Structure 1
Amino acid sequence: MKVIEFVLLLWLLILAVVDIRKGSFSGRNLVLAAVFFGLAMAAVCFLHLKDWKMVLGGGATGAVFLLASVVTQGAIGIGDGYILTVCGMVLGVYRIVLLIILALCFASVFGMFLWILKKAGRHTKIPFVPFVCAGYGVIFICSIL
Structure 2
Amino acid sequence: MSTIRELLKDAMKDESKVLVYAIRHFLSAGKLKYDDPADKFDEVIANATDRDNQAIGELMEQNPLGIDEIHVYAMKIEKGRFAFVFARDEEEATYFFCRTFQRWPMNCHQYPMDSPMSVGYRFRSFRELKKEHDEFPALAGIYEKEVTA
TM-score for both structures, normalised by structure 2: 0.22
Relative contact order higher in (CA < 8 Å, ≥ 6 apart): 1
Q: Which entry has the higher C-alpha Rg, 1 or 2?
A: 2
Structure with greater strand percent:
2
TM-score for both structures, normalised by structure 1: 0.23
